Amino acid sequence: MANFNSWLSAARLRTLPLSISGILVGSSIAVAQEKFNAVIFALAIATTLGLQILSNFANDYGDFVKGTDNEDRVGPQRTLQSGLITRKEMYWGMVGTAVLTFIFAVLLIWVAFGTRNLFYGLFFLLLGIAAIVAAVKYTVGESAYGYKGMGDIFVFLFFGIVSVYGSYFLYSMAWDWRVLLPAAAIGSLSAGVLNLNNMRDRAADEKAGKHTLAVKMGAENAKQYHYFLLLLAFASSILFSAFSFTGIDDLLYLFAFIPLLFHLKRVMENDNPVLLDPELKTLALSTFLLALLFSLAQII
């Protein structure tokens, strides 16, 4: 039977800061507009963490079942691959995490909307169900979209647009197109993390029949795509500041782009996929730093 440390390993704690970055950004804009609610924030964080852990469990399960996690894989060994958790245990771990995440999502929707707006409540309920399904279907099942090069789109949508704009809307129930700009920034950087992962595993994935975007584009085009994602994140952030500028402290988040510049240089010069693994941590933590600095600027 799997022990607690094995489940912690399967949850991939290093991915969790990235998953809450969008919630921090959307919530901080609500703070700036005096629409913040601490209970909504706590439940949004819990729901997001549940979705990320579910996605990590499903990724471990799906890649193991399909044979993608094998001796050719460059990254660290997964828990099913190494035998720390059995296939049956992981299956029920996924089911339990999905149920718990759904409960958090329902509570979140109830606190945000109650009976005041049933249309929005129903819409977010369907969105929550879609997020749970998307977390699982990335690698699980015959129609796993991660094996068809569509993972980047879903990451951009759920980590960026849904996370940032969705959390902001839960507080405000207001439409503000400007919030789409930081949402695009977080979504682009999150897609960048996935692209790095796929660049690292490109040769093994291609051999195993996992046709990620990096496999379809090839090594050099994947680097150019990575450059585009980081440039889009920078441009989106600057545009938001231009439309919402109140003082020089609004630009505090620019400090997060300093490590990103060095990161991009290392990626562009890289010819050894193994060396891309530490860059995953760099990009994820830089995204989290950007979210923290952006949020601090909004609050002050």
DSSP 70-134: STT--SPPPHHHHTSS-HHHHHHHHHHHHHHHHHHHHHHHHHHHTTT-HHHHHHHHHHHHHHHHH
Digit-coded pLDDT (tens) for 252-276: 999 999 999 999 999 999 888 888 8
Nearest residue to 23 (alpha-carbon basis) of 111, 108, 89: 108
Cβ 119 vs Cβ 41: under 8 Å: no
Q: Give domain status of residue 184, yes or no.
A: yes
Q: Give domain status of residue 161, yes or no.
A: yes
Residues in contact with 272: Cβ distance below 8 Å, sequence separation at least 6, in sequence order: none
Domain count, the chain: 1
pTM for the model stands at 0.93
Q: How many CB atoms are located within 10 Å of the residue 45 CB?
A: 18
Q: Give domain status of residue 8, yes or no.
A: no
Digit-coded pLDDT (tens) for 83-92: 788 889 989 9
Does residue 66 surpass a pLDDT of 80? no
Q: Give domain status of residue 75, yes or no.
A: yes
Q: Give domain status of residue 5, yes or no.
A: no
Q: Give domain status of residue 262, yes or no.
A: yes
Cβ 22 vs Cβ 167: under 8 Å: yes
Digit-coded pLDDT (tens) for 179-191: 999 999 999 999 9
Q: State which residues form the domain around 123.
A: 14-299
Give mean pLDDT, residues 235-253.
89
Considering only residues 64 and 136, tell me which one the structure prediction assigns the higher pLDDT: 136
Q: Give domain status of residue 2, yes or no.
A: no
Q: Give domain status of residue 3, yes or no.
A: no
